[in-house]
Structure 1
Amino acid sequence: MSEDVRNVQAALDAVAEHWQPHRLTSVNDYDVKVVKLLGEFVWHTHPDTDELFMVISGTLTIQLRDRDVVLGPNDVFVVPRGVEHCPRADAEVHALLFEPQGTVNTGDAGGDRTAAVRELG
C-alpha cells in the first residue's frame, strides 16, 4: 500500500454500495476490509476459513442455524470455518472484515451478490 496510515471512517465514507467490501489494508495473507451492510445477505459458508466481523456502527445480526448473534459498535465475532451464516442489518451497519486474501463474500453460495474485493481510492 502506498500509505502507512489508513482512516477507517474516511474509507467507509468512500464506500457507496452495500455488501461491497473494499480492502483497507492487508496483514500478512489477510485482508482488512471495510463494508456497509443493509438488509439480509445470503446464507453461506466459508469451508476453508473463519471470518471475523467487527462492527464500527449500527447493529448487525449474524444469523446462524441454531441462534442469532447480535453485534453492536466495537463488538467482534468470529464465524468458524464451515458454519452456515447469514448477516442481517435492519438499519445501515459499518463494519470491518478480517479474512484471508481471496475470500469470496458469498462463500460457497455464489450468486448475484458475489462481489470482487475493491480497492479504496
Structure 2
Amino acid sequence: MNLPVSPAASAAALSEHWSPRVIAELDDSYIKVAKVLGSLAWHSHDAEDELFFILKGRLRIEMEDGAVELEEGQAYVVPRGARHNPVAEQECLIMLIEKKATLHTGTTMTAKTRSITEQLGDSMLS
C-alpha cells in the first residue's frame, strides 16, 4: 500500500541543491522534489513537457523568448523542445512532474546533472 507523502517536507530534507528525488510514480511519470539555488543549466527536453510547482520560495524559468517568474503555490509547464534554465535567487523548494524517460538536463551534461538512478536512490517508492 502506498503511504501519504509530503512533497514540501521531502524537498526540505534534501541536502544537495539541484539533485531531484523521486517521491512517487503516476502512470508513466515520476513526481520529483528538489531543493534549488542559483542556476541549473540551459537545456531542453525534446520529447517531454515538464511541470514545475513551487512548494516554497520563488523560481525564474529563463527561456529563449523571455522568462516566467513563479511564486509559492504556482505551477508552470515548460513545453517539450523549449530551451530553458531554472534560476533561484534564494533557496527554493520545487516539485516536478516528468515522464520517466525525461533526462535531468536533457542532452546537456554538467556537474549538476543527475541520472535517474541517482534520482531514485533516496526515493520514497516502496
TM category, shorter: over 0.9
In structure 1, the partner of 2:16 is 17
Structure 1 residues not aligned, in runs of 5+ = none
- 1:11–1:120 CA contact under 8 A, matched in 2: no
Tell me the C-alpha RMSD between the 2 structures. Answer: 1.3
- 1:29–1:101 CA contact under 8 A, matched in 2: yes
- 1:47–1:108 CA contact under 8 A, matched in 2: no
* One-letter amino acid matched to 2:60: T
Secondary structure (helix, strand or coil) at the match of 2:111 reads: coil
User: How many residues end up aligned between the 2 structures?
Assistant: 120
Secondary structure (helix, strand or coil) at the match of 2:4 reads: coil
Give the TM-score normalised by structure 2. Answer: 0.89
Identity level (%): 33
Offset at residue 102 of structure 1 (A): 3.2
* One-letter amino acid matched to 1:63: E
- 2:8–2:93 CA contact under 8 A, matched in 1: no
Asked if 1:36 corresponds to 2:35, the answer is yes
Higher helix share: 2
4+ runs of 1 displaced by more than 2 Å? 118-121
